[in-house]
Every structure is written in C-alpha cells, then in structure tokens.
A and B are shown apart, each in its own frame.
Chain A
Amino acid sequence: MQTLAQLNLPHLAVEDAAFAADPVSHFREARKTNPWIAASDIGYWVHDYQAIRDLLSQDDKFRPAYDGIVEIMGARGTPWGRFTEEQLISLPPEQHAALRTTFARKFTPRFANQLRPMMRETITRMLDEWAPRERFDFEEFAANFPITIMFTLVGAPVEEIPGIRSSLETLGLAFSMDKSRIPEIHEGYERLERLVQRIIAERRASPDKGTRGDLLDLLIETGDEGNVPERQLQDLVIFFFVAGYDTSKNVLTYTLRLLLDRPDLYERCARDHEYCRKVLDESLRLFNPGSVPRFTDQDVVYRDVLIPKDTMIWFTLNISGRDETAFEDADTFDPDREIDPATRPIPFSLGKHMCLGQHIARAQLQEALHQIAQRLHDPQLAGEYGWRPYPGAWGLKGLPIAFTPTDKTPEPA
C-alpha cells in the first residue's frame, strides 16, 4: 500500500482560465498518470466516476470541507466565514440530520410539483418581456429565472432582485479561491444576510404570517415546531439562495448551448414536456456546476492507497458524467440513451448531503425549457462566450443568442 504523498500524481492548474474552458481534456490527460486522483494547489481531485461513487457515498469517512475553504480564503471570523462554516451542509452530523429532517418535507417532489404553475407563470412573464428583443445574452436571461422563483417562494420584494442577484453572482465565485474577491464577497454576503433577516422578521410581525402558504411560511412554521434557532433558520434561507441561484442558471444556460447544435431536439422540447426532462437529465450528465469539497474524517484506504485523515479532496460531480470508462460515447449528447442504474449520473451528489433542492431545481428547469423552446424559435449562437472559474459554481459566462420570437404555443405531441 502507498500513501497519497508517495504517488506520482499529475498536478492540475484548476484555478487557470484555460482549465475552466476545458476541464474534461485536462482530467483525461491526468488519467494517463493516475486513473482516479490528481493533485492541485487547493487539494486533491477525485475525478473517476466509480471512485466518486465509491468514496462520496461513505458519509462516515468524509465531512464537508467548507471550513477549509474559509481557511484558504483567510475569512475566518467574518460574517461570510461564519455562515460558510455553519450552513446546513457544514453542521456536525447530529445537528445536520436534525435540521435536514425538520425541513425535508418542504423540498420533496410533491412540493416541487405544487410549484409548477407558479414556475410556468414566472417564465412566461419573463419571456413576454424578453422575447421581443430577438437577441440577448441567454445567461443573463436565465439568471433572472431562478432568482425570481426564489423571491416568490419567500415573498421577498422583487425590486431587490438586481441587488441580490449581484450578491449571488459574487458569492458564486467565492469558491474559486481568488482572495482578491474577498471584499466583494463580504459585501455581497452582508447584503443577502440583511435581506433574509428582514423578510423573516417582517413575516413574523405580519398579520398574515402563516396564511400565505409559501416556502417562508412553511420554513418558519416548521422551524418553530422543531425549536430551530433563529440563526439557523436565517442560514437555511441564505443557503437556499446561494445554492439555488447559479446552479440552475448555469445548467439552463449550458442546456441551451447544447441545443443550439441540435435544433431537432430543441423543437421537440417545444412540443414535448416530458422530453424536456430527458434532455435535462442528459445535459446534467454532460455538465453540472458542482465540484464538492470534503475532508477525510479518518484514514481512508481506497484502491490500495492510504489517504490520511484531514486530507482535502474535491469530487468532480461536474465532469463525472464524461468519464469514458463509465459512459459509452461519453461526449455525445443523447437524451434517449439508456440509463444504467450502476452508472446513474450524479449531478446532485450522493449520500446524506445530496442536494436538498434537487426536486425544485429539476421542476423549474423542465418548466423553463419547455416554455423557452416554444417562445424563442430557431435560436442561433450570436457571439462568443466564456467560462466561469472551475472550482465552485462552474459554467458558461455569457451566451449571446439571436432568435425569432413567437407567441404561438405548439400543440402537444
């Protein structure tokens, strides 16, 4: 058996713009030296699909490493640092289980399905405003969708969307490990925290508290029933914003990028609501924003390699579906491909930290794609696009498109 330090591991420049533009090629090159793990300046990277599945599902051996990120960023003791170290995913196991169990019922498929009419109304309203422009940056359009949904769910004032969106853009870059961003991260976090504290306080003081039946009512009620401290309730709502913004936005943007090359599939999305789900599942295999950081909570032996306790490891959920040893024609976008349960894509992670909001995310993406495909006819790429930093919330930076607007709703297939 070898220790991790004894291995000859490839070193990846994950912070570089060139890496963010094409991480798949870099990981495939790294695989020639070691088939499942690589090194970087900010920790190790497990990039083999089976290794991710084997290791990330062992909740007893790994703990979330957000405290490590705060340490690297030199932000310990700051409001953002405190939140990052105490947010739901970072809590000790017993506290995490209690809090997650308390709120789990508000994030189920049933609850997500109940939200679909509101999601459809939101995207329709946005398309009414944006479609007549005939060209726009699709990423910017997509960014307004999840944040409007989230504002609606917690009854936040819509006039504050631009400011909070700016905060969330900044917070989405927090895990890119660029210390020069720290001042704007603090500013962005504090603006979001102030909003969340205010909407909770106002709702508690409001005569219609508990009668709206929106997510904020439900979270306050459930939190009170479970004696959840106010600070944790606030953190959960902040977490809801941070986790739900550029994840959904980046997936929707990347999905459209894929469909620009497949007008046949795009047209089918306009006709076939259920097919949109398959398109999104396949898009999530090819791309998702997340690489999740963990610390080993004990010495771990895997494939005859000893990984010492407290080693920081990133799991590349975002490119795990491009692993050619697990997926046939891994780079081919094929929504009709058969899903083998043994190699089910894992965009929402595994184990007890699996994304709580995944059912809401899936529902809103499906509703959005179906409506977009009906209203933005024959979209074409109308300029260049870039990439966001790879660690953290990875994705396209900008996606200029031109299209023919239509207000006709095709008949369902």
Chain B
Amino acid sequence: MVKVTFVQPDGSEETIDAAPGQSMMEAAQASGIRGIVADCGGNCSCGTCRVFVAPEWRARTGTASELELDMLEMHEERQDGERLCCQITLADDLTGVRVAVPKSQF
C-alpha cells in the first residue's frame, strides 16, 4: 500500500493507505478526504482536485503536463508544487508523500 498524507488548511492531517496504480484523487475520494472535489471524475477537465505537493516529493510525483497547467490557470492564486491529483498515479516509491489541500478549489 502507498501511504498518502493530506494536510488540510487548518493544519490537521489525514493519512490514508492507497493501492498502487490508483490516482491520488481516486484514493482521496475513496477515503472521503475533505476538499478534493473532483467533479469531472479524473478527466482533467474541472480543475477541482488541486493539491500542493511538498517540496521533497515533487521530483517523484513529476511535473504537471501542459493540459494540467492549462487547467490550473483557472485558479487566481498560484503556488509552487501545485498539481491536479487526478493526474498523479500512486506507486510504491510515493509512500509517505505529503500534499496540502487548498482552502478552496473554486
């Protein structure tokens, strides 16, 4: 299993166990993580599953694709390490990954 920690805007943390091969969004939805809206169900067309990947994990989560970057432009406040977590596929080498959930997805 892959351990993923979501840090909420109030500082509280939730760590979940996810199956490798799932997207981080699917894992978050399955565990009821607050703030991961994902209206489009993982099709990279709504931009509502944004997270901020902790700096030490960015090399392993990879960088956003062009389509993902174009989608992220819907958000006025941009931040380093932002990704749409429907585009991050979980693998064993990501166990322990930490991401922050934004105050709002809209």
| A341 pairs with B105, CB closer than 8 A | yes
Answer yes or no: A187 CB below 8 A from chain B CBs: no
- Given known contacts A104-B45, A341-B105, A352-B41, A359 and B74 CB-to-CB distance under 8 angstroms: yes
Segment of A27-35, A107-115, A124-132 in the binding face = A107-115
Answer yes or no: A354 CB below 8 A from chain B CBs: yes
- Given known contacts A104-B45, A344-B37, A346-B39, A281 and B66 CB-to-CB distance under 8 angstroms: no
- Given known contacts A110-B69, A339-B104, A341-B105, A104 and B44 CB-to-CB distance under 8 angstroms: yes
Answer yes or no: A105 CB below 8 A from chain B CBs: yes
Q: Closest residue to A113 on the B side, CB-wise?
A: B73
Answer yes or no: B43 CB below 8 A from chain A CBs: yes
Residues of chain B within 8 A (CB-CB) of A358 are 46
Answer yes or no: A334 CB below 8 A from chain B CBs: no
Q: Closest residue to B67 on the A side, CB-wise?
A: A105
Which listed residue, B39, B43, B72, touches A344 by the CB 8 Å rule? B39
**Number of contacts between A and B (CB, 8 Å)?**
61
| A110 pairs with B70, CB closer than 8 A | yes
The prevalent SS among residues of A at the interface is helix
Residues of chain A within 8 A (CB-CB) of B44 are 104
Answer yes or no: A37 CB below 8 A from chain B CBs: no
Query: Contact residues of A with B, CB < 8 Å?
Result: 57, 59, 100, 104-105, 107-111, 113, 281, 339, 341, 344, 346, 348, 350-352, 354, 356, 358-359
Interface string of B58-96 (1 = CB under 8 A from A): 000000001101111110000000000000000000000
A111 to B66, CA, bound (A): 12
Chain B: minimal CB distance from A255 (Å): 18
Residues of chain A within 8 A (CB-CB) of B57 are none
Chain B: minimal CB distance from A240 (Å): 15
Q: Closest residue to B74 on the A side, CB-wise?
A: A109
A113 to B70, CA, bound (A): 10
Q: Closest residue to A278 on the B side, CB-wise?
A: B106
| B41 pairs with A110, CB closer than 8 A | no
Given contacts A104-B44, A111-B70, 7 further A-B pairs with CB under 8 A are A105-B66, A109-B47, A281-B106, A339-B106, A344-B48, A351-B39, A356-B45
| A59 pairs with B41, CB closer than 8 A | yes
Which listed residue, B39, B48, B67, B106, touches A104 by the CB 8 Å rule? B67
A280 to B82, CA, bound (A): 26
| A108 pairs with B39, CB closer than 8 A | no
A351 to B72, CA, bound (A): 18
A104 to B43, CA, bound (A): 10
| A350 pairs with B40, CB closer than 8 A | yes
Residues of chain B within 8 A (CB-CB) of A339 are 104, 106
A350 to B69, CA, bound (A): 21
Q: Closest residue to B47 on the A side, CB-wise?
A: A109
A248 to B66, CA, bound (A): 28
Residues of chain A within 8 A (CB-CB) of B43 are 100, 351-352, 354
- Given known contacts A281-B106, A339-B104, A354-B46, A108 and B70 CB-to-CB distance under 8 angstroms: yes
A371 to B105, CA, bound (A): 27
Residues of chain A within 8 A (CB-CB) of B35 are 341
A341 to B106, CA, bound (A): 9
| B73 pairs with A350, CB closer than 8 A | no
Q: Which 6 A-B pairs have the closest CB atoms?
A: A108-B70, A109-B74, A110-B70, A110-B73, A354-B40, A351-B41
Residues of chain B within 8 A (CB-CB) of A354 are 39-41, 43, 45-46
| B39 pairs with A105, CB closer than 8 A | no
- Looking at B45, B46, B67, B71, the one whose CB has the most chain A CB atoms below 10 A away is B45
| B37 pairs with A341, CB closer than 8 A | yes
Residues of chain B within 8 A (CB-CB) of A59 are 41
Residues of chain A within 8 A (CB-CB) of B37 are 341, 344
Residues of chain A within 8 A (CB-CB) of B34 are 341
Cβ contacts A to B, 17 pairs, < 8 Å: A59-B41, A104-B45, A105-B70, A108-B67, A108-B70, A108-B73, A109-B47, A109-B71, A110-B73, A339-B104, A341-B105, A346-B39, A350-B39, A352-B41, A352-B43, A354-B40, A359-B74
A59 to B38, CA, bound (A): 13
A351 to B29, CA, bound (A): 13
Residues of chain B within 8 A (CB-CB) of A107 are 45
Q: Closest residue to B68 on the A side, CB-wise?
A: A108
A281 to B70, CA, bound (A): 21
Interface string of B13-36 (1 = CB under 8 A from A): 000000000000000000000110
A59 to B43, CA, bound (A): 11
Q: Closest residue to A106 on the B side, CB-wise?
A: B70
Residues of chain B within 8 A (CB-CB) of A100 are 43
Chain B: minimal CB distance from A23 (Å): 23
Chain A: minimal CB distance from B101 (Å): 10
A346 to B67, CA, bound (A): 23
A348 to B69, CA, bound (A): 21
Chain B: minimal CB distance from A342 (Å): 8
